[in-house]
Amino acid sequence: MRHVNIIVTMGKYHIHKKPRPGWHVIRGQRVPLERKMAASRGAVVLKTVKKIVVQLCPFESNVRSTRDFLVMVGSEKARSSNINCEIITEVKHDRSESVIDITFVDGERLVMKGSKLTTQEMLSALQTRCSAKNPQAKAGDKK
């Protein structure tokens, strides 16, 4: 089904095409939303992550970056990089700020406050820690 808005002005019909749900328009081109997010933020690899706990209050105004982070980490491609990684979402209704608690395989923890960071900053912090802990990535960099 096509999503079309028809607007009548001064006896003329103007047709405005809306992108389908799940699509985004970039420079006049319709692009799937997942591809736009992946292209802008890079791929997420969870090889060295044991558990990710995301606590958020969905009614706060500054929860957008935390929700986008959760979408990226919970994507099928990211989950397939480590099937043993446990992703837990705790939705609260107590007006608390968003907190992301990441536990790595070696026991180290990374705690980020989602209200203070953008999605890009959270993803880059996660990826730098993951690449530093991944022995295969270190061997690939030396070659």
The pLDDT of residue 67 is above 60: yes
Q: Each residue of 9-36: pLDDT tens digit?
A: 445 544 445 545 555 555 555 555 554 4
Q: Each residue of 76-110: pLDDT tens digit?
A: 999 999 999 999 999 998 988 999 999 999 999 99
Domains recognised in the chain with CATH numbers: 4-32 (no CATH), 42-142 (3.40.30.10)
pTM for this predicted structure: 0.66
Distances (CA, A) of 55 to 17, 59, 95, 127, 138: 37, 13, 11, 20, 32
